Amino acid sequence: MTNLAELLSSTAARYPGRTALVLGDRRMTYDRLDAAANQVAGLLAAENVRPGNKVALSFPNLPEFTIIYFGILKAGATVVPLNVLLKSREIAYHLRDSGAVAYFAFEGTTELPIGEQAVEAFEQTDGCHSLFVVPAGGPPQWDDLPGEFETAEVDDDDTAVILYTSGTTGQPKGAQLRHRNMRANALAGKDLFAADPQHPDTYLGVLPLFHAFGQTVIQNGAIAFGGTVVLLPRFDPAAALAVMRKETVTFFAGVPTMYWSLLGALDDTVDVSALAAGLRIAVAGGSALPGQVHEDFRTRFGVTILEGYGLSETSPVASFSVYGQPPRVGSIGVPIPGVEMRLIADDWSDVPDSPDALGEIAIKGHNVMKGYHGRPEATAEVLRDGWFRTGDLARKDADGFYYIVDRAKDMIIRGGFNVYPREIEELLMTHPAVSLVAVIGVPHDSHGEEIKAVVVKNKNHDDLTESDLVTWAKERLAAYKYPRLVEFRDSLPMTATGKIRKREI
């Protein structure tokens, strides 16, 4: 088995009538999901999309995401999932940078006009020859096509998925993940969560499927073991609790803010005992989980949250808590089977092996990307002899459990999304009233961090207000990226070499 799409094909062959996806009253069995993915593959072949081509995808958590995702893979092409909050300018960049030849986008809603943004982006992109704007529940583009398709043969080292991750150099970079990277990470659920196709889990699919966490741990992990994914396109704690009760969800994965929100939504109308009776696994990642949230969730739901760590470049899971063992609150666990981790200095040398030693996490194993698409220099900076340096500083205790201490990268984590200040700073600097800017993260109760821009105005632009700049940025950046907070200053603190001292800000 080489093509990642075989996860779906093999499960559909074993359990054709088992429910694969649920969205409200809509239910899709594995045989129907596989047939729909085959129809998409047939559509792509008819559009002259060939193995190795890149195909982009902009969908929230709807069945169409999974259908199209596996259809692209079956055609032998590479999936390029895009954040649904991106604006047309950002989408066009991703289409051009990835070299996508085709693009599937959700028709969208008034609140989330994905289709409009997709059309604008497509018109700005010369290399992308096919655009499919798909309504929810009724994709006419492939309805009449055969439900059978011979899955394209690929090499294990061929790129299955390109996941875009921002960087300190500004523009997002595409992490190329091989078929073997993604497959091994999905199958890791057998060791990490005691996943068993004879006793399949029901997963709440509320983490965005375009993100590495939701895509691998929820979508691909569920399909690998014949589970059911109950989709929730937008996280709302009351709605999530209701769906968890209705569908007897056994597997919940979320970022810390989701757990915080779920606990805050509990009241006398919520039958917590019924929820707890069904829930088997709770998984957290994306940022540090507060100890109090850890304890409160265990008390109310009777389930210990398992924390893990990973990045887009590692498919994503690299380390995890040990299932069945008492938790070590604050730890990201130990390397998963088939993966190695070590702590290194700036020159790649190992730091002293002691519980007090701090170093940057480096990762090696079946999960590490082949490199950044079209970025050999950026790839060389982070990959050496199979080791990937993460930019995250950590320590390791005597038992081999890792603890994140700080981020070496200039990164903000807002509501589980990675936000890199450089990209925002470069955009804000194009505003005629902005002379200098530093973007930083500030503590926030529910989002973990909020984005703040500290700005020095150009002369003769005193009329620029905080709300003016927020509105201007909102029109040009995805909703999770634009700064909600703006502070004007006369100057910013600088180092002797002219770098802004953000720690002082």
**What's the CATH code of the domain at 381?**
2.30.38.10
On whether both 427 and 468 belong to a single domain, the answer is yes
Digit-coded pLDDT (tens) for 56-91: 999 999 999 999 999 999 999 999 999 999 999 999
DSSP collapsed to 3 states, 213-267: HHHHHHHHHHHHCCCEEEECCCCCHHHHHHHHHHCCCCEEEECHHHHHHHHHCCC
* 8 A C-beta contact, residue 21 and residue 229: yes
| Cα 240–chain centre separation | 19
> 178 lies in a domain?
no
Among candidate residues 387, 405, 385, the one with its CA nearest the CA of residue 395: 405
Q: How many CB atoms lie within 10 A of CB 352?
A: 10
Do 4 and 142 lie in one domain? The reply is yes
DSSP conformational letter for 188:
T
Q: Which range marks the domain in which residue 392 is found?
A: 333-406
The Cα 373–Cα 96 span in angstroms is: 12
Does 135 sit behind a cis peptide bond, omega within 30 degrees of 0 on the bond before it?
Answer: no
- Give a yes or no: residue 163 inside a domain: no
Output the pTM of the full model. Answer: 0.85
CB 287 within 8 A of CB 255: yes
Claim to verify: residue 32 and residue 92 sit in the same structural domain: yes
Alpha-carbon Rg of the chain, whole angstroms? Answer: 23
Contact criterion met (CB below 8 Å) for 340 and 363 = yes
> Residue 88's beta-bridge partner residues?
none
pLDDT tens per residue across span 324-360: 888 888 899 999 999 999 999 989 999 998 887 889 9
Token code pair at residue 190: 């057998």
Asked if 177 and 79 count as a contact pair (C-beta separation under 8 A), the reply is no
Q: Does residue 270 sit in helix, strand or coil? A: coil
Quick check: is 5 in a domain?
yes
Residues 115 and 96 in one domain: yes
Rounded distance, CA 26 to CA 13, Å?
22
Residue 104 corresponds to which tokens in the numbers above? 């599937």
Same domain, 9 and 123: yes
Are 42 and 140 within one domain? yes
Looking at the fold, whether 147 and 34 belong to one and the same domain comes out as yes
Residue 382 lies in a domain: yes
Q: Are residues 215 and 287 located together in one domain of the fold?
A: yes
* DSSP code per residue over 112-134: S-HHHHHHHHHHT-SS--EEEEE
On whether residue 320 sits in a domain, the answer given is no
**Whole-angstrom distance, CA of residue 147 vs CA of residue 200:** 26
Is the same domain home to 117 and 208? no
How many Å separate Cα 120 from the centre of its chain?
A: 24
State whether 198 and 282 are in the same domain.
Answer: yes
Q: Which helix (H) or strand (E) holds 361?
A: strand 359-365
Q: What is the CATH number of the domain that holds 473?
A: 3.30.300.30
pLDDT tens digit sequence for 239-276 = 999 999 999 999 999 988 789 889 988 988 888 888 87
- β-strand partners of 423: none
What's the token pair of residue 498?
Answer: 């002219």
pLDDT of residue 498: 46
Domain boundary among 406, 426, 458: 406
Q: 400 and 483: one domain?
A: no
Residue 296 lies in a domain: yes
As a whole number of angstroms, the distance between CA 190 and CA 179 comes to 18
- Are 105 and 13 found together in one domain? yes
Return the sign of the alpha-carbon dihedral for residues 445, 446, 449, 450.
Answer: negative
In a domain, 116, yes or no: yes
**Number of domains composing the chain:** 4
pLDDT confidence of residue 445: 83
User: Which has the closest alpha carbon to 451: 491, 406, 414?
Assistant: 414
Residue 30 is part of a domain; what is its CATH number?
A: 3.40.50.980
Tokens at 444, concatenated = 């926030």
pLDDT at residue 359, as a whole number: 92
Q: Is residue 276 part of a domain?
A: yes
d(CA 231, CA 206): 6
Q: Which residues of the chain have pLDDT under 70?
A: 1, 138-139, 166-170, 406-410, 494-499
User: Which among 209, 242, 250, 224 is positioned nearest to 20, based on CA atoms?
Assistant: 224
